[in-house]
Each structure stands twice: as C-alpha cells, then as structure tokens.
Structure 1
Amino acid sequence: MPYKEKEIEKQYYSIGEVAAQFDVAPSLIRFWETEFEQLKPKKNKKGNRQYTPKDIENLRTVYHLVKERGYTIQGAKEMMKNKSVQTKDKIEIIESLEKVKAFLQGIKNQLNTKA
C-alpha cells in the first residue's frame, strides 16, 4: 500500500502516528531504525520516540526503496548511502507522476460517466 501523503504540520510525531501514515507496524519502524543510520528519532524523558518531519522524509525514502521498489535491506542501505540526493529526487518525481496519473484517471472516469 502506498505512503499516505499527508501535509507535515506538527513538530513531532509518535511512532503510532508515523506507522499509520505508512500503513506499517511500529515494530517495522523500530527494526528499520536499527538498520538505517539515517533513522534516529529523538526520545523524550519517558523514552518515547519523537519523529520530526526530517525523520519522516528519511523514513519515506526507506519505505519507498524497501516496500515499493522491492530492495533488500542491504540494497536500500547502499542506495541511501551512495545516492541519497538522487534517490529523493526520483521518489519526488515518481510521486508527482502518480498524482498526475490519478488526476487524469479521474477525468477519464468523469468523461466515461457522461458518455
């Protein structure tokens, strides 16, 4: 299931909120934190993770590589290490194209219902 695009508006998000955005279990996010050095959310005094918008962007990159593109953990690590800027640019392009596709499909559906 694709990442649920949501405007990032808060300073910090809980692991439950982040997991819901990506439609994954919180345990998967904790696992990814152990595997990817880019995923290091702050923790409050109680030890609860606090994800910033930057943390969520990094997590979105991991999600895209592992879940959407089918990379192994090791392959995703290498991609993030070697081509982090290129990878983020490609993700943004893909997301833009998916939005355009959805928009065009909506227009097509409207035209089909009127015909």
Structure 2
Amino acid sequence: MTKSEDAFRTIGELAEELGLPQHILRYWETRFPQLRPLQRAGNRRYYRPADVALAKRIDRLLNREGYTIKGVQKLLEERTPEASPEQDATTPSLAELKRIRAMLAEALEEDAA
C-alpha cells in the first residue's frame, strides 16, 4: 500500500524514498532553514508534502547536479526569500504573481489597441 502524495511522511519513509540515510535529512534541517518538518512528541518528524518536495529538490541539486551546500543555500534564498516553511519551493511568491498579472494586463491592452 502506497501513501497519498498529500500524506505526511516520517523521516524513515522520506529517507527510503530518497535513498539516503536518516541522519542526512537531520543534517539538512540544520543547513537549510526552509526545511522544517513538524516535530511531535519524542521529536518524531513528519514531513509535509512541501517539505518532501524541498527535500527532493535539495537531493537533486546536491547529489545529481553537483552543487555544494553553500550553492544550494544561495539558490533557495534567492528563490524563496519571503516564503514560509510550508510554502512549496516551486510556488511563486506574491510579488512574482503580481508582476505576471501586470505583464498580462499590459499585453491585453496592447492587443485591444
């Protein structure tokens, strides 16, 4: 039985999914402030879908694309400076959405003229 994409994952489940030891995920939590799973009694970690997506992105950048820890930190800071920990790393910021809306409105005005 497979969990839903929207289900929370334990550290063991996420580690298995990524093919990494659990201590690597704990280390990433110290290096990437954006990665903040819920912690329940006994410090049991539960990764939300946004945390899972972020962990997958960090894994891809570090282990497949060859970025360093500092390089990934810079990328994440540039991409989501005002994002909350619950916000998915691929979700555009409010400012970016407003910029896109203004561009579309301008394009519509040009088409109407």
Q: State TM-score, norm by structure 2.
A: 0.65
Query: Number of aligned pairs?
Result: 82
Paired AA for residue 8 in structure 1: E
Which of residues 54, 79, 84 in structure 2 aligns to 1:83?
A: 79
Q: Does 1:67 align with 2:63?
A: yes
Consecutive unaligned residues in structure 2, runs of 5 or more? 81-88, 92-113
For residues 16-27 of structure 1, the aligned pairs below 5 Å read: 16-27=12-23
* % identical equivalent positions: 28
The Cα of 1:8 is off from its aligned counterpart by 1.4
Deviations 1:46-103 (A, max 9, x none): 210011111101111111111111100000100111135xx849xxxxxxxxxxxxxx
**Contact 1:19/1:26 (8 A) holds in 2:** yes
TM-score with structure 1 setting the length: 0.64
Give the aligned residue type for 2:42.
Answer: K
- Aligned partners of 1:62 and 1:16: how far apart in 2? 17
Q: Which has the higher strand share?
A: 2
Structure 1 stretches lacking a partner, 5+ long: 1-5, 90-115
2:5 to 8, 11, 15: 8
Aligned with residue 38 of structure 1, among 34, 48, 60: 34
Give the Cα–Cα distance (whole angstroms) in 1 for the partners of residues 22 and 75 of structure 2: 23
Find the counterpart in structure 2 of residue 28 from structure 1: 24
1:47 aligned to 2:22? no
1:45 deviates by 1.5
Q: CA deviation at 1:42?
A: 0.6
